[in-house]
Amino acid sequence: MSAILIAVDGSQAAEWLTNLRAHAKTRKLRIWPDAIGNPDDVAYACVWNPPHGFLAGLPNLKAIINLGAGVDHLLADPTLPRVPVARVAHADLTTRVTEYVVLHVLMHHRRQRVYDAQQRQRLWRPHDQPGASEVSVGVMGLGVIGSNVADALGRLGFKIAGWSRTAKDLPGAKTFHGAAGLDAFLARTEILICLLPLTHETKGILNLALFRKLKRDGPASGAFLINAGRGPLQVDADIIAALDEGALEGATLDVFPQEPLRPDSPLWSHSKVTVTPHNAGDISPRVFAPEVIAQIERFERGAPLDNVVDRTRGY
Ligand code: NDP
Ligand code: OXD
């Protein structure tokens, strides 16, 4: 029987092996880099950020399963074999990212950083607090995760808008799409959430010119950015410039053009920036491994893979 290869960059490789083994029954499992075995045996590669060029060395590969939602690293490999690439679109991951975004929207909305600073000074000073229903939130990317985030924040009462590549209808939200819809979307947005994939169209989109178009005279008392999409969507120097000139009042960043974030990055110590280490939504091998095996078994019975990436679109 053909083998499944696990090629995971990072600390979760062993956990994937254990969990896939628990469901793979008698199937051969191989692990990169130490136990690849004969590359000719490998039919399925379950990967997270594998080195470019590596998958091209598996001549009998039938499908690639990306163990995460974003496929930018994979698609940037010019030698990527022409087999279907499936990605994670799973409620567990969607819920985790939604938790992260809701937490940070509320941190900005409720001025938590200001109160943290006041607590350190033993300062008792309430500030005006708008209700959620007065504040406009905008979600860039209305896919599996962005639409769930929009729904969760809508249920908290925020005014919701969303922006996507193609037209979308989202209950309770005002939607915009394409380059033509971007400025109107930004003009009404006080808290901007980015859940876009990284593609040649979206790279660098979170820049100073865009931040200057956000609404900063609304009840939120300034504009805020939350980026949990991908690092190269944002221009770090422009975030600092926007914070310094007032185009942005605060930022929460989970992702960075260079990860880990360089120790000398001014973002670490900026008083208006919250930095997290790209963990808004970690995929759980325990939860997702059974689905990987079930997908492969269905595929072998002739069904298409779920959540296949459109390589031309780039996500
Ligand atoms: P989806 O593919 O389901 O959704 C992508 C959305 O982005 C779609 O609404 C799409 O528009 C929109 N989009 C793509 N290109 C453009 C463009 N040029 N202009 C406007 N809108 C665009 O992705 P997911 O929701 O599953 O995930 C989104 C991203 O979140 C991932 O690609 C990944 O980078 C990131 N992520 C980060 C995590 C973290 O831990 N920080 C965890 C998980 C994901 P349309 O609907 O028209 O196709
Ligand atoms: C993902 C991620 O894309 O964790 O799944 O960033």
Which tens digits make up the pLDDT trace of 104-137?
999 999 999 999 999 999 999 999 999 999 999 9
| pLDDT at position 10 over 90 | no
- Ligand 1 atom having least distance to the Cα of 196: 7
- Best mutation site among 164, 203, 253, 306 for ligand 1, i.e. most ligand atoms within 8 A of its Cβ? 164
**How many angstroms from the chain centroid is the CA of residue 233?**
11
- What is the structure's pLDDT at 132? 98
Question: Considering the entire predicted model, what is its pTM?
Answer: 0.98
Q: Is the dihedral of CA 274, 170, 85, 305 positive or negative?
A: positive
Question: Is any ligand 2 atom within 6 A of the Cβ of residue 68?
Answer: yes
Question: How far, in Å, is the centroid of ligand 2 from the Cα of 73?
Answer: 11
**CA-CA distance, 69 to 143, in Å (whole number)?**
11
122 labelled catalytic:
no
11 or 230, greater pLDDT? 230
Question: Is any ligand 1 atom within 6 A of the Cβ of residue 141?
Answer: yes
Q: With pLDDT > 90 as the criterion, what percentage of the chain qualifies? A: 98
- Say if residues 30 and 263 touch (Cβ distance below 8 Å): no
- Best mutation site among 72, 94, 165, 169 for ligand 1, i.e. most ligand atoms within 8 A of its Cβ? 165
> Distance between terminal CA atoms of the chain?
31
Question: How far, in Å, is the centroid of ligand 1 from the Cα of 197?
Answer: 4
Question: Of 87, 108, 111, 230, which residue is the catalytic one?
Answer: 230
Question: How far, in Å, is the centroid of ligand 1 from the Cα of 141?
Answer: 5
**CA-CA distance, 181 to 151, in Å (whole number)?**
20
Which of 34-38, 78-82, 137-141 is least confident?
34-38
Which tens digits make up the pLDDT trace of 44-82?
999 999 999 999 999 999 999 999 999 999 999 999 999
Which tens digits make up the pLDDT trace of 92-103?
999 999 999 999
Q: Where are the alpha helices (DSSP H) in 11-56?
A: 13-24
Question: How far, in Å, is the centroid of ligand 1 from the Cα of 27?
Answer: 33
